[in-house]
Amino acid sequence: MGAEASFREDEFFGREEELHALTRAALEGGRGIGSSFMIYGPPNIGKTSLLLKLAHVLRTSTGEGLPRPFPLYFSFSQILSHPLALSQHFLQEFLLQLLRFLGEAQPSAFNPAAMCDRLASFGVTGCREVLAAHERCTAEGDGLSALVNALSFPFSASGDLFYPVFLFDDFQYTGKLQGVPDGAMLSILRPYIKSGHFPMFLSGSSPGRVTASLKREGLFGTFQMIEVAGLSADSSIRLWGHLCERRRVEIPASLLPRASERLGGIPVYQRMLVEEIFFRNAKVPDAITLENLYALAVTEGKLNRYWREFFENTFPDRSRRGRAIRFLKRVLCDRFPLDTVEGAISLMGVSQEEGEEILSALEFKGLLKADLEQLSFVGDPVLADFLYWAFERGVLGKGTSQVAAAIVQAQLSHGSPEPGQGADHARRVAIVKELMRKWDLREVPLLLFDFGKFREKFGGKGLLEVVIGMEHEAMRVRLPKVSSVSTGYRASRGGPRFDFDLVAYGFLEGDFSEENLVIWAVDAAVEKNLGARAVEHFENRCRLLALEKGLPHDRLRKWMLINETADPAAVDLAEQYGIHMSHPTQVRLFLNLFGLEELEREPEPSRSGGAPAPRAGKPLEYELVLPMKADSEVVAARVAEEVAAFAAVDADTVDRIKMAIIEACINAFEHSASESGKVRLRYLLSPDKIELFVQDDGRGFRTGKAAEESKKNRGWGLKLIRELVDDVEIITGPDGTVVRMVKYLEAGPGKPATAKETGGPASPGER
């Protein structure tokens, strides 16, 4: 009863859509058209709260007539793995919850016989018979029959008075029952699920397992899947408000969006962090303090304890726990590109058997999803920080405060674009990725990979000469058949990076076999002039990779792409280490061989370094499609803010643009009878103006609703827009309505660009 007891109705925020869908499905059960749901998501994301909230909503639903939905919440995690114990517990829970549902305030929970009698007085008969049958099964030690007996009972007991709605929590545990075949539970429930009269909500952190069982039972199509993730920003912030108020902790509202994002919108973390701040009696005036408190919580406080206990429970064996943590750290923190079971096991460096056990335990607890041998891992920012701490502490032996400082620093510098993450780099990486996919055992001149020799031979020659020269190259190399290429991420922790821009898995011959496996690690240099240090660092990472994958040295190919030039020392070092190195010209030739073209380098504006805006170039265009949904206009405003930042306009103008776009969006949401439910926005940034287009596919303006709204002082929208921007045009055509707004930027950057003065101080009381 742990989760049930700690559930606080008043702390439940958000998840309106999920609740709505689930409530509807449950109520439709009364009419025999209810559907069932599989609710899944990482551990402690709030699945249980969702179920309990649903139970509450159903209990208090005042549906017309009878029967009423009776929400029966049951968690499988609390029970011993013996089916007799489970069925006993289930029966008891059922009787207890049903009595409460029927209005008995304090049923005698430990006396099933008495509960049966009470139920009979409510018109629910046959309970004693079921108990007797259950006792017989127990005496015979027939677990499966006992389970059938217990689980079928609610269905036979229901009638004109109520119908059961099952809220089965931690359903993955049903696969762990002793002596009961996997999926037996679903076999028992199958006819009821199929009937449509008994909506069933299964929740669990291990969707792979449960969906496999559902598929085996032919039930998969009957279930709708709901993935529970972190709360929306809005709900998360409301929860902050509630928690802070309860604990009288003050966090400035301006920090909350960031704090929410920091914790992945996960309610349990928010609760813990607020508790942490409360118990430390700390004041939180600014972002730095908040980051510090968070880092403390994750390195020695509540968040740390939470995950430590989690891993201790999941992996009681210390050394296995260490391996699992080290493995997860590589995947979640260092973003080691990984999506197969084989890859995972080789990264762990353990036996097949142990590797599978670790993965299975992680899956059971919901830290990874396995689907058709494809792995995907949870994206939990707090877990990532915890793993970072565990690794730095346990493996590198750093002190807690050192790790906390690193976490704070990484967070504070987070968001500033890292060098090399620019669009140009991404484009270079993407095109090489495409190239590698096309290799397919073809032979190419070795010179394409050898910058030193290439320069020696063709330095200073024209491109045509080079192309002809390459055709006559006798030294050729056979490329592998590449089966997959993963794009790496640059580690964002400020420290040295662990991964590569690209890691390709390929085979030397056509056959996909262990002996033929070859891995290509590729880095596209960011620095204009590639230095020896970068080569050294690349080599180190390659060695680490080879070690982790257990690859013989000739099965790991190393390839660096020069950005513009390379130091002679770097070229020498690369040769010494056996690193392939290619100059942009070589890459271009390479791409030509495979019918690919290098994309033109566009001088993309970057926000760092003063952004010389598009003042000298052609207009920059941005597009955004918004759902017609409450508050999504805020996204449009946010984008407008970012776009305006490129033009270095003053804050007041940015505000005006934001407000104008908000009004235009709201107008589109409210007045257009749109079919697609979407609004399309275009932001056009030219040297002298910002043009905004808000387009919906509605047919003109709907008058009915607008007239009703205008009673409430509505109808300012267009008036405000005209006030906020310099030009407004509304074009209604067969395809919808477009509002075009223009704000001129006649003043230079940094100066106020407002074209219009609204005249005089706003009110007599000012200044």
Partner 1 sequence: MSPHKTVRTHEMGDTLVVSVGGYLNSLLGEEVEKVVRAELEGGGRRILLNFGGTRLVNSIGISFVIGIVEKVMEREGRMAFCEVSRINRDLFQVTGLAKYVRSFETEKEALDYLSGNA
Give the interface with partner 1 as residue ranges (CB under 8 A).
233-234, 237-238, 241, 253-254, 256-257, 630-631, 633-634, 637-638, 641, 652, 655-656, 658-659, 662-663, 666, 712-714, 716-717, 719-720, 723, 758-759, 762-767
Query: Least distance to partner 1 from the beta carbon of 241, Å?
Result: 6
For residue 623, what are its two tokens? 């597009």
Query: Least distance to partner 1 from the beta carbon of 715, Å?
Result: 8
- Tell whether the torsion through CA atoms of 644, 645, 651 and 655 is positive or negative: positive
Nearer to partner 1, 362 or 721 (CB): 721
Residue type, 208: G
Query: Least distance to partner 1 from the beta carbon of 670, Å?
Result: 9
Q: Is 647 exposed, middle or buried (0-12, 13-18, 19+ CB in 10 A)?
A: buried
Nearer to partner 1, 376 or 710 (CB): 710
Query: Least distance to partner 1 from the beta carbon of 754, Å?
Result: 9
DSSP state of 578: T
Nearer to partner 1, 305 or 638 (CB): 638
Residue 750 region by backbone torsions, left for phi larger than 0, else alpha for psi between -120 and 50, else beta: left
Residue with tokens 């932001």: 683
For residue 297, give Cα distances in angstroms to 21, 219, 245, 261, 516: 36, 43, 20, 16, 47
Query: Least distance to partner 1 from the beta carbon of 271, Å?
Result: 18
CA distance between the termini of the chain = 61
Nearer to partner 1, 176 or 283 (CB): 283
Residue with tokens 């230079």: 748
CA gap 577, 401 in Å, rounded: 38
Nearer to partner 1, 478 or 756 (CB): 756
For residue 280, what are its two tokens? 């430390």
Nearer to partner 1, 11 or 567 (CB): 11
Query: Least distance to partner 1 from the beta carbon of 737, Å?
Result: 18
Sheet hosting strand 736-744, strand order edge to edge: 620-627, 678-685, 689-696, 736-744, 727-733
Query: Least distance to partner 1 from the beta carbon of 720, Å?
Result: 6
Q: Where in 529-677 does DSSP place strands (E)? A: 529-530, 556-561, 565-566, 580-582, 620-627
Query: Least distance to partner 1 from the beta carbon of 636, Å?
Result: 11
Q: Which of 369, 447, 443 is nearest to 205 (CA)?
A: 369
Nearer to partner 1, 31 or 712 (CB): 712
Q: Which helix or strand (DSSP H or E) is residue 464 part of? A: helix 463-471
Query: Least distance to partner 1 from the beta carbon of 643, Å?
Result: 15
Bond prior to 67 in cis (omega within 30° of 0): yes
Q: Which residues pair with 375 in a beta bridge?
A: 370
- Name the H helices within 63-126: 83-102, 112-121
Helix axes 568-577, 451-458, angle to 10 degrees: 130
Nearer to partner 1, 571 or 657 (CB): 657
Q: What are phi and psi of 629, to 5 degrees?
A: -140, 145
Query: Least distance to partner 1 from the beta carbon of 629, Å?
Result: 11
Query: Least distance to partner 1 from the beta carbon of 417, Å?
Result: 19
- CA-based max dimension of the chain: 100
Q: Is 287 exposed, middle or buried (0-12, 13-18, 19+ CB in 10 A)?
A: middle
Nearer to partner 1, 241 or 349 (CB): 241
Nearer to partner 1, 536 or 655 (CB): 655
Helix axes 451-458, 463-471, angle to 10 degrees: 120
Q: Which residues pair with 732 in a beta bridge?
A: 737
Nearer to partner 1, 530 or 657 (CB): 657
